[in-house]
């Protein structure tokens, strides 16, 4: 009886010890560093994607837009990678262009001889013609590949997504702003807002002897 009582006491004592012991806490889950919510991250990514590729200062934007109110058509002599040391004569009005390529020979006495290229930017057409008074065979010669025949005009250089003024220079007695753009460096006439010179990818483009608003529809129509 005494032994059974002792055993009972021991069991009771063990139960009491276990019940009085502090409860063990469940292991805490590691908390990751606080980050943006997925919605916030998505918004930021969208904003980054929609951010313009570059910026154009207000005064530069005004200069590059001047031609829209000051020029209806323009004539100039162009020299660039396509012309070597020679010049092409350009007539530009609206979406129509005529340019007279520099001729290796001044004679236009063959049936395929031409002295003018007519470009229509809307129709995406290019055609060669012989128009000079001394053409033996006048008129249309051929339909040309538009992309091969097209040469960027002074207006094409003004379609930029970023631009900032980096200096001022005088070219052929005309004041220009030197502007760094995504297309290269432009020297833009401060009165008419068109480039007189451009440097891009190590190549130089010149636009000389400008005659503004002198080009007629007949000049750019075959």
Please tell me the distance from the alpha carbon of residue 222 to that of residue 217, in angstroms, as a whole number. 10
Q: Is residue 36 part of a domain?
A: no
Q: Identify the bridge partners of residue 180 per DSSP, sorted by sequence position.
A: 164, 185
Q: What is the pLDDT of residue 36?
A: 39
Q: What is the pLDDT of residue 50?
A: 39
Please tell me the distance from the alpha carbon of residue 123 to that of residue 129, in angstroms, as a whole number. 17
User: Residues 64-85, buried b or exposed e (16+ Cβ, 10 A)?
Assistant: bebbeeebebbbbbbbbeebee
Answer whether 67's CB lies under 8 Å from 192's CB: yes
Q: Is residue 62 part of a domain?
A: yes
- Per-residue tens of pLDDT for the chain, all 222 residues: 444 444 444 444 444 444 444 444 443 433 333 333 434 443 343 333 333 457 999 999 999 999 999 999 999 999 999 999 999 999 999 999 999 999 876 789 999 999 999 999 999 999 999 999 999 999 999 999 999 999 999 999 999 999 999 999 999 999 999 999 999 999 999 999 999 999 999 999 999 999 999 999 999 999
Hunting for tokens 């007949």 — which residue is that? 218
Please tell me the distance from the alpha carbon of residue 37 to that of residue 106, in angstroms, as a whole number. 73
Q: Is residue 41 part of a domain?
A: no
- Which CATH number characterizes residue 170's domain? 2.50.20
Q: Is residue 185 part of a domain?
A: yes
Q: Which domain holds residue 185?
A: 58-220
- Count of domains observed in the chain: 1
Q: Is residue 49 part of a domain?
A: no
Q: Is residue 65 part of a domain?
A: yes
Q: Work out the end-to-end distance of the chain between its first and last CA atoms, rounded to an integer number of angstroms.
A: 131
Instruction: Report the SS3 class of residue 96.
Output: strand
∠ Cα 161 145 113 (to 5°): 125
Q: Is residue 111 part of a domain?
A: yes
């Amino acid at each position: 009886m005494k032994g059974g009582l002792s055993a009972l006491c021991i069991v009771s004592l063990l139960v009491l010890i276990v019940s009085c012991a502090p409860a063990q806490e469940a292991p805490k889950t590691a908390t990751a560093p606080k980050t943006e919510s997925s919605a916030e991250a998505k918004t930021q990514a969208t904003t980054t994607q929609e951010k313009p590729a570059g910026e154009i200062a207000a005064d530069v934007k005004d200069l590059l837009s001047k031609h829209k109110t000051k020029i209806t058509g323009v004539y100039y002599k162009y020299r660039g990678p396509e012309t070597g040391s020679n010049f092409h004569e350009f007539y530009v009005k609206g979406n129509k262009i005529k340019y007279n390529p520099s001729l290796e020979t001044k004679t236009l006495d063959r049936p395929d001889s031409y002295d003018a290229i007519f470009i229509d930017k809307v129709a995406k057409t290019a055609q060669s013609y012989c128009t000079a008074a001394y053409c033996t065979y006048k008129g249309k010669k051929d339909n040309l590949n538009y992309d091969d025949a097209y040469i960027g005009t002074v207006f094409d250089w003004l379609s930029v997504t970023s631009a900032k003024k980096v200096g001022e220079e005088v070219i052929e007695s005309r004041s220009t702003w030197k502007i760094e753009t995504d297309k290269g460096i432009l020297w833009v006439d401060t009165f008419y807002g068109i480039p007189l010179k451009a440097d891009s990818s190590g190549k130089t483009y010149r636009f000389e002897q400008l005659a503004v608003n002198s080009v007629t529809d007949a000049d750019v129509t075959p």
